[in-house]
Amino acid sequence: MFGTRERKIKLLPWFERLCSRYLPYNSLRRALLSGASWSVAGSIVLRGLSLLASIVVARLLGKHVYGQWGVILGVASMFGSLGGLGMATAAAKYIAELKKSDFVRAGRVLSLILLISMVGVSVTSMACLGLAKLMADRLYNVPELFVPLMVTSIMLFCIMGTLILQGVMAGFGDFRGIARISIIQGVVLFAALVLLTYCLGLVGAVIGMTISQGVAMCLYLVTIFKRCREYGIRISSTGMRKELRIIWHYAAPGFLTSSVLHPANMLSQAMVANTQGGFGGLGGYSAAVRWRELVLFIPRAAKRITLPMLSKLQGDKDYKRFMKALWANVTLNGGMALAVALPLIVGSPWILRLYGPDFRCDWDIMVILLSMGIFQAVADVLSQVMACMEKMWWNFGFHVAYGIIILGGSYLLVPHHGVRGFVWAYAVATIVHMLNHIWGAAILMRRHHHSIAAETMNE
C-alpha cells in the first residue's frame, strides 16, 4: 500500500524504481491505488468475518429462521436509507472539495449534514419502532417477529450513522482510518453475532449486529473530530442556512430514491414470505445475497475514493483527468467484480452447503445474484457522475424505473415461482438500472465537456 503522505518509506531498489516510473508521487494512479488499497484492506477483513459469521448464524438458526433474519436486515436497510437522506454522498463530495480550499464553508456543510442525518435517522428509527407490531402481524404474518423488529429500530440508527460518518471520512481522504475501524468492527461483529445468536436466537443476532455498528459509529466520530482539528474545520450551527441547497440537491432526491427502491425490495420479499415455504426460500436467498455482497465489496470499497476524486477534478475543471479517473474506476470495479464472481458461480452448490443441507438446492439463485453483482458494480461507479455534478434527481428517476420493474415483476412471478420469481425480477431490474446509468453518464459527460470548452473559448 502506498501512502499519499510526504514521508518516504524505504523500499527495495528495484521496487522503488518501479514505483517511481509507474506510480510517481502526486499522480492520479498513485492516489487511486493508495486509497483503493487501504479501503479494500479494511473491507476484506470486515466482509470475511461477516461471511463467516453468516454461516455460523445460519447453522444456529436454521433455514426458516435465517430467512426471517434476512427480512429483518431488509427492514433495517429500508428505514435506514429513508433516514440517511443521501447524506453520506453529500459528505464525501463537499468535504473533499472544501477541506483545503474553504474550511469555513466545510464546517458549515459538515454541521448541516450531521444535523440532517441525526434528525432523519432518529425519525425513521422511531417509525420502525412504531410499525414493528403492524409489520410482524400484517405484512409478514409472523407475530414472533415483533420483538426482533423493535430492536431493529436501534440497529438501523447505528448502521446509518456508521455509513454517513464513513462518507465524511472518505471526504477527508482518511482511507487508512476507515480500514482500521472496519477491522475492529469485523472482529466485534463476529464475536457478538455468534455469541448472542447462540444464547438468544434471532433477537441475539439483532443485538449483536447493533453492538458492532455502534462501536464503529463511535470510533468514526472520534476520528472525524481529530480530522476537523487538523484542517481547522469548526462544527457549528452558525451560517448553516447558507448551505440549505444541499437539502434540495441531496436530501430530497436521496429520500425519494430510498422511498422507491427499498420499499420495493421489502414488499417483494413480503410477497415471498406469504407463499408456502416462503421464509425457507428467503433463507436461501439471504445466504446467496451475502456472497453477492462479496462480489461487490471490493468495488464498493474502491468506490469510496471515486466521488472525492471526481469532485476534486470537476472543481479543478480538469476534464481529461476526470474522464481518465472515471473509466479507470469503471474498468477496475467491473473487472474485480467479474474476477470474484466467476469462481463463486462455479462453486455455488458447495458454498451454500456450508450453511446446511437445505441450502444447497438454491444454488441457481446464487448464480443469478452473483452475475447481477457485476452489472451493479458498473452502475455504482457511474452513479458517482450524477453525484459529483449534483444531478441526484437523475439517480432518483433511474431508481423509480428499478423499483417499478422489481415490484411489478415480483407481483407477476412470485405467486407462481416463489423466491425465484423475485430473483428474476431483480435480475431484469439490475440490467436496466446499469443501462440507464451508462446513458445518463454519457449525456452528463458530453455536457460537461462542452461547458468547459465554452469557458475556455470565452477566456
Q: 5 burial class (0-12, 13-18, 19+ CB within 10 angstroms)?
A: exposed
- How many other C-beta atoms lie within 10 A of the C-beta of residue 64? 15
The pLDDT score that the predictor gives to residue 249 is 67
Measured in whole angstroms, the distance separating CA 12 from the mean position of its chain's CA atoms is 37
Confidence class for position 24, pLDDT limits 50, 70, 90:
low
Which of 13-27, 128-142, 253-267, 289-303 holds the top average pLDDT? Answer: 128-142
Region 436-448 average pLDDT: 80
The pLDDT score that the predictor gives to residue 234 is 85
The pLDDT score that the predictor gives to residue 85 is 64
The pLDDT score that the predictor gives to residue 98 is 78
239: alpha, beta or left? (left if phi > 0; alpha if psi -120 to 50): left
Of residues 21 and 433, the one with the higher pLDDT is 433
Region 354-378 average pLDDT: 91
Asked if the model's pLDDT at residue 392 lies above 80, the reply is: no
* pTM listed for this prediction: 0.75
Asked if the model's pLDDT at residue 323 lies above 70, the reply is: yes
Asked if the model's pLDDT at residue 437 lies above 90, the reply is: no
The pLDDT score that the predictor gives to residue 3 is 43
- How many other C-beta atoms lie within 10 A of the C-beta of residue 376? 21
- 184 touches 162 (CB < 8 A): no
Asked if the model's pLDDT at residue 56 lies above 80, the reply is: yes
Of 152-156, 199-203, 311-315, 384-388, minimum mean pLDDT range: 311-315
The pLDDT score that the predictor gives to residue 15 is 43
pLDDT tens sequence across 234-255: 887 777 777 777 766 666 676 7
Confidence class for position 30, pLDDT limits 50, 70, 90:
low
Of 78-87, 270-279, 314-323, minimum mean pLDDT range: 314-323
Distance from C-alpha of 76 to C-alpha of 152, rounded to nearest angstrom: 6
Q: Calculate the alpha carbon distances from 442 to 88, 372, 401, 445 in Å.
A: 24, 22, 19, 5
Confidence class for position 307, pLDDT limits 50, 70, 90:
low
Identity at 183, one-letter amino acid code: I
3-state secondary structure 363-380: HHHHHHHHHHHHHHHHHH
Average pLDDT, the chain: 81
Of residues 46 and 219, the one with the higher pLDDT is 219
Region 347-354 average pLDDT: 92
The pLDDT score that the predictor gives to residue 33 is 56
Confidence class for position 382, pLDDT limits 50, 70, 90:
confident
Nearest-CA neighbor of 23 among 261, 253, 252, 35?
35
